[in-house]
């Protein structure tokens, strides 16, 4: 019984971590980010992943989320306006 409870707790933690990592920002959220930086993320992901579009989407989402956190903490990068 103890093993089952521990297994379920572990599965729950893994599922939450996976769900947080696969969160996709909406178009509106991406539109509020500095667009030159958004394009830089897209170019970098395209260069890194080429025709592997599922990895490009994953890469872009990760970059956009990081950029959003940066902007929330520090304001616009390089003193740019949105």
Q: What is the pLDDT of residue 82?
A: 47
Its pTM stands at 0.66
In a domain, 15, yes or no: no
Q: What is the pLDDT of residue 3?
A: 76
Domain that holds residue 74: 25-82
Q: What is the pLDDT of residue 14?
A: 59
Neighbour count for residue 3 (Cβ, 10 Å): 7
In a domain, 47, yes or no: yes
In a domain, 10, yes or no: no
d(CA 11, CA 47): 35
Q: What is the pLDDT of residue 39?
A: 97
In a domain, 77, yes or no: yes
The mean pLDDT values, 10 residues at a time, for the chain of 82 residues are 71 55 83 96 97 94 95 78 48
Could you give the number of structural domains in the chain?
Answer: 1
Q: How far lies 6's CA from each of 3, 13, 15, 19, 25, in Å?
A: 5, 11, 14, 20, 32
In a domain, 69, yes or no: yes
Phi-psi map region of 79: left, alpha, beta (phi>0 left; psi -120 to 50 alpha): left
């Amino acid at each position: 019984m103890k093993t089952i409870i521990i297994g379920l707790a572990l599965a729950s933690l893994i599922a939450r971590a996976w769900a947080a990592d696969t969160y996709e920002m909406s178009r509106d959220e991406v539109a509020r980010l500095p667009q030159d930086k958004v394009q830089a993320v897209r170019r970098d992901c395209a260069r890194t992943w080429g025709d592997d579009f599922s990895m490009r989407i994953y890469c872009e989402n990760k970059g956009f989320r990081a950029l959003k956190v940066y902007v929330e903490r520090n304001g616009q990068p390089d003193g740019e306006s949105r």
